[in-house]
Structure 1
């Protein structure tokens, strides 16, 4: 079976202080960090054992995970397993990158977010250049706030041409056509992010070939539909996997709507759905 897994454990801390994020500068206690490490180790053990399946795994932590050694080690280890097709993680790229020397770069990929008000431009740009020099598959992006436009333009100009720069529409922000055109000049796929997608009753791969898993092993179809399908570790979720339509009115997050069968994004991102790398640039 080919299965895509979005994993989000109990980690809820970050080294950045973005004003729109509830986890900004939040610190997990020692006990919370231990619990997160235990949960990740359990998940990694499950992934290692699924030798008859072909797995693609995206880690979507609240906050920043790569500053934690257990995430760096786990991604490197999973990337070297023959039945893992892709292992990727969302990151602000603040952590050191030496751990990538131990990873299989044919399998590992990074989804990197630039926060212009949180990190010096040169530091982030140089981190991106380091990834490119190492040959790491990655995308780079920014939230489309007006105050981020010039920084995003500068970054696009200084990134290697093959690196995709994505733009997420800012939550709660309405774009005029002129504003949208400016962002689309940087990211031709921005129109997919500009408006929420009507999804009610439409076919979606989540719940069939894509699942979401939390630190307890609870399986849901995606991060945004709370109905439980079973548990990862007792295998009860497998009986629940089947074609499904979306029960929500709209889907407004890329990690959700990319799986809608009514959108062409599996073709657009063929081979790079998890790390958000379009086929044309990957």
Structure 2
């Protein structure tokens, strides 16, 4: 590793079930069997224990489950434990935040943070905005995002108007969808950084932090440089991955996912998201979020 004192881990266990039914997601309303859930819980417990045992370097963790993790108690418990660990710099998760929120009182909110996605059609606007209100009241670090399909534009505009400027609202380009300049303009008005998501990034041969200071870990401990390069570097639990950590170039032609290209060095997003890489919170200087004291407007009651 270039910096032997720090390691960022993107963890993805066997969990593949979700409580939402988004038409743009292949894992919508998928159910895990009891055996699969037990396996996921055991894998996460093993991973959490490994992180807590590390003393030779500081760890940051982003949970990127295929399904929804926070509706499962073991993900909530893991975030609480890791947030309280002195050697963990950041623990974050990609989530629809449909879970209860009282457990956040046990988190160290200097360490825990959340990448929250709004899915219109799966939850009422009032309920989702209410979650954001509560997160803000609790002092939780979070970003909010939405997938850039045409029917989401008006909900995105409404959400941007109701969120304070201090809460970054990101837009993910819809998979398989191309945007003309005219189509991209309203999304860029919602998310000034949409240009980074709009088109895939050419990555072949370019330096990337993955495989050096950033790795992907599966439930069985298999370590890969990132989620998108299947070649294993070794295993987390026998330590065999350590010898493989080094600076390296990307072997793929392009990278079109934020959790991948944010680590691609020429893109320069470590400066843009300084202090908020894992939770997707940019530094205020790079997007204009300059009013952290602005309150979230309560959602209007539907007639």
- TM value normalised by structure 2: 0.92
What residue in structure 2 maps to residue 157 of structure 1? 161
In the other structure, the counterpart of 1:114 is 118
Alignment match of 1:232 (pick from 212, 231, 236)? 236
1:80 — aligned with what? 84
C-alpha deviation, 1:19, in angstroms = 1.1
1:173 matched residue in structure 2: 177
Across the two proteins, how many residue pairs are aligned to each other?
282
Selected match of 2:201 from 197, 202, 222: 197
CA distance in 1: counterparts of 2:39 and 2:163, whole angstroms: 38
Secondary structure of 2:205's counterpart equals coil
Matched, 1:146 2:150: yes
Q: Take 1:238 and 1:71, find their aligned partners in 2: how far apart are those partners? A: 26
Q: Structure 2 CA distance, aligned partners of 1:161 and 1:132? A: 12
CA RMSD after TM alignment: 0.8
Q: What does residue 37 of structure 2 align with?
A: 33
1:160 to partner: Cα distance: 1.7
Which residue does the alignment assign to 1:70? 74
Q: Return the offset for 1:52.
A: 2.2
Give every structure 1 segment of 4 or more consecutive aligned residues whose post-TM-superposition deviation is greater than 2 Å.
none
**Equivalent position of 2:27 in the other structure:** 23
Query: SS of 1:168's equivalent?
Result: strand
- Displacement, 1:232? 0.1
Say whether 1:184 aligns with 2:201. no
Match of 2:96 among 69, 92, 98: 92
- CA distance in 2 between counterparts of 1:50 and 1:274 reads 20
- Mind listing any 5+ residue stretches in structure 1 that lack a counterpart? none
| Separation in 1, partners of 2:236, 2:51 | 10
Q: What is the CA deviation profile of residues 60-114 of structure 1, one whole-angstrom value per residue up to 9, with x for unaligned ones?
A: 0011000000000110110001110000000001011111000000000000000
Deviation (angstroms), 1:117: 1.4
Query: What's the secondary structure of 1:90's corresponding residue?
Result: strand
Query: Is residue 58 of structure 1 aligned with residue 59 of structure 2?
Result: no
Structure 1 residue 264 displacement after superposition: 1.2
Deviation of 1:51 (Å): 2.0
Tell me how far apart the structure 2 counterparts of residues 84 and 56 of structure 1 sit (CA, whole Å): 6
1:215 alignment counterpart: 219
| Separation in 1, partners of 2:31, 2:166 | 36
TM superposition score normalised by structure 1: 0.99
- Once the 2 structures are TM-superposed, how far is the Cα of residue 235 of structure 1 from its aligned partner? 0.4
- Other structure's SS at 1:62 match: coil
- Counterpart CA distance in 1 for 2:251 and 2:150 is 33
The question of 1:3 aligning with 2:2 is answered no
Give the match for residue 241 of structure 1.
Answer: 245
Cα distance in 2 between the residues matched to 1:162 and 1:7:
28
Match of 2:129 in 1: 125
**Separation (CA, whole Å) in 1 of partners of 2:211 and 2:192:** 29
